[in-house]
Amino acid sequence: EFMKILEASKQFPRVDTGTRDFTYGTAGFRMRADLLPSVMFAVGCLASLRSRKFNGTTIGVMITASHNPAEDNGVKIVDPEGEMLSEEWEWYATGLANCRTPEELRNAFIHSINLLRLNHEADRKVIFARDTRPSGDTLVNALKAALDATNTPYIDYGVATTPQLHYLVRATNTLGSDREYGEVSIEGYYKKLSGSFLKTLHIEYAQQSGPVFVDCANGVGAPALKELLKYMPEDKFKAVVVNDNIDDPERLNYRCGADFVKTQQRVPQPHTGKAMERWCSLDGDADRIVYYFEEEGNVFHLLDGDRIATLAASYIGDLVKKSGLDEQITLGVVQTAYANGASTKYIEKTLHLKVEFTQTGVKHLHHAAARQDVGVYFEANGHGTVLFSERALKAIRMHEPQSTAQLNALTTLKALSEMINQTVGDALSDLLLVEVILSHKEWTVTEWLSTYKDLPNKIIKCNVRDKNVFVTTPGTADRRLDYPPAIQERFDEFIPKFREGRCFVRASGTEDAVRIYGEAAEAYDVEHMLGYAADAVI
């Protein structure tokens, strides 16, 4: 095996990046696709080790760069339950990916086996998929070469969304157990989503006000949504697929998709919608979704991740009460510092639910949500899901309903727990969730928007000499800085000048820059405050 690694890796030499290292960050490895083949080979080796660590439990590898431009690509590893790679292994990933020669890689591989005390004879299995990027094919070859060299059996699921691969990992590893997650195929994924969606319709179902328009960012979400629609009853679910051109890579995420809409606060271009239509946008690998609509006169209204979190929390919270389970199941919401202050206030004061804050990055939110009976987590950017604990699922299963109302609520709750992707944020599953809730509540987008009023806010990016000197205070979920101390002092001076002012700075995990977030009661105060903040930072 070690000889084979040495030989095979020669085909994928590391591109010279000077003193810059590759790092396995919150989004795995992500960079220009031409730098990636050697990284992909290293990730294949690591996935094989990760699987051996669990005695042959299936590990996933997803090749995607999500909302980045088409010339980028990336890769991340999916752990046995369908969750992100455990943090302590990121160090090994970074170590292997930065080896400069085949000999170094072989040695690092052997070294990892020793440090991790792995039985390197253990069984192993890897499954993988990729998004629609043109570089995907070449990168798959590098991955396969590593899996062959390490004698690792694999299944190639071709082009799929990120959440589909997470689903497949979990389904594979729970097959035959009492926690069976679903059929082990992409078809099984569609069946599970559509089947549970239909079960939510057991009670009277209000026809939605017109179809939902789905901007698929010209990415993998487009074919996936079209496939899903084949399983959905046309009279119950109407969706219009927009931006589905996956044959022209130039168009991927270009002036469309969830990231564009959220950061630019405007509709995807060129715009084809009409006033008051219900729209949403997915990102390039379909793990994020945001909603929006335009009023007459092109007034744009965004319904972002915070809105989806509040909608889901209020609806699921109601269902728990209506089923008579509120003594047994508590609901918690997890947000990051980027969540609009008005959404937090609404969750705490109006919904009377607990909010917990974590650092930015899905893995942090996911773990915090997993500690709740039912944990709703969403980043403002539209990545999120709802997690049902084993305890909650058991309570739902065992509860004897005392009335038809309780029975109905219970049936809906159970169906939702199946329809919502429990492994990771999933734009298609979240789409169905929002549509079900709006229908059941008989709400239009205007009613959804009117639940609370967002505080004006803005995020700016600052290029600084070294973003790594910006160290946030542990336990403050990115809200405060320990270093450089002078910067936090200055923030503490100007923030109180602005009504409902909140402002923080953190190093980006995906770009070589820091981001400053500001929110306040008035839009002009936000601008003013960000001016002070940028002065303090640069």
Does 379 help bind ligand 16G (rule: CB under 6 A)?
yes
Return all residues near 68 (Cβ < 8 A) that are at least 6 apart.
30, 74, 253, 284
Shortest CB 277 distance to ligand 16G, Å: 28
DSSP assignment of 437-473:
HHHHHT--HHHHHTT--PPPEEEEEE--S-GGG-EEP
CB-wise, 272 or 510, nearer to Zn ion?
510
> Segment near ligand 16G (CB under 6 A), from 243-251, 314-322, 508-516, 526-534?
508-516
- Residue with tokens 């044959």, as numbered in its chain: 247
Does 65 help bind ligand 16G (rule: CB under 6 A)?
no
Q: Can you tell me the distance from the alpha carbon of 128 to that of 124, in angstroms, rounded to the nearest whole number?
A: 14
What the block records as the tokens of 537 is 């930072």
Applying CB under 6 A, among 515, 516, 525, 529 the residue interacting with ligand 16G is 515
From the number of C-beta atoms within 10 Å of its C-beta (0-12, 13-18, 19+), residue 50 rates as: buried
Is the backbone peptide bond immediately before 13 cis, with ω within 30 degrees of 0? no
> Segment near ligand 16G (CB under 6 A), from 232-240, 304-312, 433-441, 510-518?
510-518
Binding mask 287-316 for Zn ion (x = CB under 5 A): x-----------------------------
Residue 328 binding result from Zn ion, ligand 16G, none, given CB thresholds of 5 to 8 Å by partner type: none
* CB contact at 8 A, 220 and 286: yes
Does 27 help bind ligand 16G (rule: CB under 6 A)?
yes
* 3-class secondary structure, 157: strand
Does 430 help bind Zn ion (rule: CB under 5 A)?
no
- Exposure class string for 143-176: b at 16+ Cβ within 10 A, else e: bbbbbebbebebeebebbbbbbbbbbbbbbbbee
Q: Can you tell me the distance from the alpha carbon of 392 to that of 373, in angstroms, rounded to the nearest whole number?
A: 6
Applying CB under 6 A, among 509, 522, 528, 534 the residue interacting with ligand 16G is 509
Site residues for Zn ion, 267-286, by CB under 5 A, read 283, 285
Residue 411 binding result from Zn ion, ligand 16G, none, given CB thresholds of 5 to 8 Å by partner type: none
Does 510 help bind ligand 16G (rule: CB under 6 A)?
yes
Among 9, 48, 66, 281, which one carries the catalytic annotation? 66
Does 478 help bind Zn ion (rule: CB under 5 A)?
no
- Respond yes or no: is residue 185 known to be catalytic: no
| Alpha-carbon dihedral sign for residues 302, 412, 195, 442 | negative
Give the N- to C-terminal CA distance of the chain in Å, as an integer: 51
Shortest CB 336 distance to ligand 16G, Å: 7
Shortest CB 340 distance to ligand 16G, Å: 15
> Segment near Zn ion (CB under 5 A), from 9-17, 65-73, 306-314, 437-445?
65-73
Does 66 help bind Zn ion (rule: CB under 5 A)?
yes
Shortest CB 66 distance to ligand 16G, Å: 7
What the block records as the tokens of 117 is 């005390």
Does 493 help bind ligand 16G (rule: CB under 6 A)?
no
CB-wise, 133 or 144, nearer to ligand 16G?
133
Shortest CB 379 distance to ligand 16G, Å: 5
| Alpha-carbon dihedral sign for residues 375, 185, 256, 254 | positive
Site residues for ligand 16G, 201-260, by CB under 6 A, read none
- Residue with tokens 């990730």, as numbered in its chain: 43
Does 421 help bind Zn ion (rule: CB under 5 A)?
no
Applying CB under 6 A, among 51, 381, 411, 423 the residue interacting with ligand 16G is 381
The residue among 164, 177, 42, 36 whose CA lies nearest residue 102 is 42
Residue 283 binding result from ligand 16G, Zn ion, none, given CB thresholds of 5 to 8 Å by partner type: Zn ion
H helix or E strand, kind and range, residue 411: helix 404-419
Write the CA distances from 398 to 318, 323, 338, integer angstroms: 19, 12, 38
CB-wise, 125 or 383, nearer to ligand 16G?
383
Does 75 help bind ligand 16G (rule: CB under 6 A)?
no
* 3-class secondary structure, 333: strand
Q: Can you tell me the distance from the alpha carbon of 477 to that of 472, in angstroms, rounded to the nearest whole number?
A: 8
> Segment near ligand 16G (CB under 6 A), from 92-100, 360-368, 399-407, 470-478?
360-368
Does 131 help bind Zn ion (rule: CB under 5 A)?
no
Applying CB under 6 A, among 295, 482, 511, 512 the residue interacting with ligand 16G is 511
From the number of C-beta atoms within 10 Å of its C-beta (0-12, 13-18, 19+), residue 266 rates as: middle
Q: Which residues are catalytic?
A: 66
Residues near Zn ion, by CB under 5 A: 66, 283, 285, 287
Residues near ligand 16G, by CB under 6 A: 26-27, 360-363, 379, 381, 383, 508-511, 515
